[in-house]
Structure 1
Amino acid sequence: MSTALSLDLRVRVLKAVAEGASHRAAAARFGVSAASVSRWRALERTQGDPRPGPLGGDRRSARVEAQGALIRQLIEATPDVTTEELRATLAERGHGFGYGTLQRFFRRHGLTRKKRPAMRPNRTAPTS
């Protein structure tokens, strides 16, 4: 996983730009891309310093986890509900989730969506 470049490097690059160097010249001098220099300048303008934001992590599952009790309640009320039917019911209640989002929720919580229990085969004969 990549890490953000240090704040010290960002400040030195922006200082070079402030002293008159072009984005490309400052980027070449410090071994970073010109696009990074542009992004750092934009960060400095908007938030006052070029400090990096948070990297990685799960930022989206909190939405579906907040509705976890409702999802479990709907599954308990109708155990044979399909994922698409569950999505439609949740959407009617104002909670729009994608198919994959619900599948990941089921996997995280150990919920299986199998309709019937596994059955033994009727005949067990050699196939070759």
Structure 2
Amino acid sequence: MGKPHPLELRQRVVAHVEAGNRHRSAAARFDVSVKFVNDMVRLKRQTGSLETKRQGNPGIGKLTPHSDRVACAG
């Protein structure tokens, strides 16, 4: 999975749209996709923040229920 875009870029993109510019204009100006602009505007509207969401497994692996039988040989 790739790295998320920096928070500064996210803020600048949303600020450009909030200043009255179109999503396509923001995408062209900051060299990102229109979908990214749409997603950032939606995220800001829904959560009030542009922080990245946690990626990956929430800490429960497939072998966690069997941790008593599986031991590291370290």
TM bucket (normalised to shorter chain) is 0.7 to 0.9
CA distance in 2, matches of 1:64, 1:5: 30
* Counterpart pick for 1:68 among 43, 66, 69: 66
Q: Percent identity?
A: 33
Higher relative contact order, structure no. (Cα contacts within 8 Å, ≥ 6 residues apart):
2
Partner of residue 18, structure 1? 18
| 1:67-124 deviation line (CA, Å, top 9, x unaligned) | 326xx6xxxxxxxxxxxxxxxxxxxxxxxxxxxxxxxxxxxx49xxxxxxxxxxxxxx
TM-score by length of 2: 0.75
Largest Rg, 1 or 2: 1
1:47 paired with 2:66, answer no
**Which runs of 5 or more residues in structure 2 are unaligned?**
none
Between Structure 1 and Structure 2, which shows a larger proportion of helix residues?
Answer: 1
**Which runs of 5 or more residues in structure 1 are unaligned?**
73-108, 111-128
SS of the residue corresponding to residue 46 of structure 1 reads helix
Aligned length: 70
CA distance in 2, matches of 1:40, 1:6: 12
CA distance in 1, matches of 2:59, 2:15: 39
1:8 paired with 2:15, answer no
TM-score by length of 1: 0.46
How far does residue 46 in structure 1 lie from its aligned partner after superposition? Answer: 1.8
Query: What letter matches 1:65 in structure 2?
Result: L
SS of the residue corresponding to residue 54 of structure 1 reads coil
Query: What letter matches 1:11 in structure 2?
Result: Q
Q: Would you identify which runs of 4 or more consecutive aligned residues in structure 1 move more than 6 Å? A: none
CA distance in 2, matches of 1:39, 1:2: 16
